[in-house]
Amino acid sequence: MTTLVWPRFLTPEGAREIMPGMVLCLTVAMAATFLSTHYGAPVMLFALLLGMAFNFIDPAGKFIPGVALASRSVLRIGVALLGARITLSDMMALGPLPIFLAIGGLATTILLGLGLGRFFGRPAAFGILSGGAVGICGASAALALTSVLPKGERGISERDTIFTVVAVTALSTVAMIAYPVLASFFGFDNRLSGIFIGATVHDVAQVVGAGYSISQEAGDAATIVKLLRVAMLVPVVATITLLMTRSGLGTRARFPLFLLGFVLLVIINSVGLIPAQASTVLADASRWALVIAIAGLGMKTSLKDFFEVGPRAMAIIVAETVWIAAFAAIVLSTLA
């Protein structure tokens, strides 16, 4: 007879062990949400900065188990719950052009990241991390990719993840302000403006802000295209998992369970089995999980480690951001 083994954190002893760190991460997430609501800055950025302010906690102390759980398991739960926001019908509603933009923009941005990473002496994993974050959905994608990319000298470090999250969040905020102006400059109508913003701005919140600042039609189109890019997490993470396993750099031979949850929620939502209110609840739960996870990551990263990533890494992310915007503008101007 097979004995069911519960994860340690679900046992009474494990729950007591993780409680201090989880409460700390939740407190930081609540503070970040309050500041974001009142000052209009990205909640992910506040969570990172506040989390990094708690980097002084004892590396062997009572907070560490909970912080580790938040930055690993809670992160994966948050990514999985993103699937409740997506339906297949929404993704197909705008036709083949957004699909081409999502796939083409993502593929070329990752290839650019790999090329620039090699040129600047960075590991290939950093090029994939930064390119995936820019090409998919900013901070959420960076966190998801971190869970499957190799670590160590041939891979990425936690400071690489933090740096990427801060960089894409900052650039996404700039894009939220600048890209509606760019769309007008290119002469795009409301529909094309929304597609352009959804295909280029990194984070979902900034896409929504930029799209609806133009019009309702542009905001709807931007949101749908952005969620299509979010769905690209599935093939990208699955492909990385397979490649890492075959090369001996990864340890996962199975399809990541959090992505399986993502796919299942997309399917369930697509057939109408998730009521609108439940979808909203799951989306909020996803956001909270990701904010808690990023607070935990911040606590594990010092400012010294962060700045040691260097200007070359920033140059890579800026170049990827410029490229994906140029790619979308060229395609829309040519084919639309």
- DSSP per-residue codes, 178-213: HHHHHHHHTT--HHHHHHHHHHH-SSHHHHHHHHHH
Burial of 140 (0-12, 13-18, 19+ CB in 10 A): buried
- Give the DSSP letter of residue 61: S
Q: Would you say residue 122 lies in a domain?
A: yes
pLDDT at residue 6 is higher than 70: no
Beta-carbon contacts of residue 73 (< 8 Å; ≥ 6 apart): 9
| Contacts of the segment 178-182: beta carbons below 8 A, 24+ positions apart | 179/210, 179/325, 180/210, 180/213, 180/214, 182/325, 182/329
Q: Would you say residue 11 lies in a domain?
A: no
CA 275/CA 28 separation, integer angstroms: 31
- In this prediction, what percent of the chain has a pLDDT beyond 70? 89
Q: Would you say residue 8 lies in a domain?
A: no
Nearest Cα residue to 112 out of 323, 309, 315, 314: 323
Confidence of residue 319 (pLDDT cuts 50, 70, 90): very high
Give residue 286's domain range: 19-53+62-335
Pick 65 or 154 by higher pLDDT: 65
Pick 322 or 87 by higher pLDDT: 322
Q: Would you say residue 203 lies in a domain?
A: yes
Pick 115 or 172 by higher pLDDT: 115
- Residue at 88: amino acid letter: L
- Which residues are bridge partners to 151 per DSSP? 156
CA 318/CA 118 separation, integer angstroms: 16
Confidence of residue 192 (pLDDT cuts 50, 70, 90): very high
What's the rounded mean pLDDT across residues 131-138?
91
pLDDT digits (tens, 9 = 90+) for 244-301: 777 665 544 455 677 778 888 888 988 888 888 888 899 889 889 888 987 887 787 6
Q: Would you say residue 1 lies in a domain?
A: no
Confidence of residue 60 (pLDDT cuts 50, 70, 90): low
Are residues 170 and 200 in contact, defined by beta-carbon separation less than 8 angstroms?
A: no
What's the rounded mean pLDDT across residues 60-77?
82
User: What b/e string do you get for 27-36 counting C-beta neighbours within 10 Å, with b at 16 or more?
Assistant: ebbeebbebb
Confidence of residue 152 (pLDDT cuts 50, 70, 90): confident
pLDDT at 108: 96
User: Among the residues of the chain, which ranges form H helices?
Assistant: 12-39, 43-53, 64-69, 75-81, 88-93, 96-119, 124-135, 139-146, 158-185, 190-200, 204-214, 216-231, 233-247, 257-270, 276-299, 303-307, 311-335
Pick 205 or 223 by higher pLDDT: 223
Are residues 193 and 210 in contact, defined by beta-carbon separation less than 8 angstroms?
A: no
CA 250/CA 26 separation, integer angstroms: 30
pLDDT at 218: 87
Number of domains in the chain: 1
Q: Would you say residue 181 lies in a domain?
A: yes
pLDDT at residue 18 is higher than 60: yes
Q: Would you say residue 230 lies in a domain?
A: yes
pLDDT at residue 228 is higher than 90: no
- In this prediction, what percent of the chain has a pLDDT beyond 90? 26
pLDDT at residue 12 is higher than 80: no
What's the rounded mean pLDDT across residues 10-32?
86
Q: Would you say residue 69 lies in a domain?
A: yes
pLDDT at residue 5 is higher than 50: no
CA 292/CA 281 separation, integer angstroms: 16
Pick 241 or 116 by higher pLDDT: 116
Task: Find how far residue 47's CA is from the centre of its chain.
Answer: 14
Mean pLDDT of the chain: 83
CA 92/CA 110 separation, integer angstroms: 24
What's the rounded mean pLDDT across residues 222-235?
84
Per the document, the length of the chain is: 336
pLDDT digits (tens, 9 = 90+) for 156-188: 888 888 889 888 888 887 888 889 999 999 999
- Which residues are bridge partners to 156 per DSSP? 151
State whether the Cα torsion 92-98-175-191 is positive or negative.
negative
pLDDT digits (tens, 9 = 90+) for 70-107: 877 887 788 788 778 777 787 777 778 888 999 999 99
User: What b/e string do you get for 277-310 counting C-beta neighbours within 10 Å, with b at 16 or more?
Assistant: eebeebbeebbbbbbbbbbbbbbbbeeebbeebe
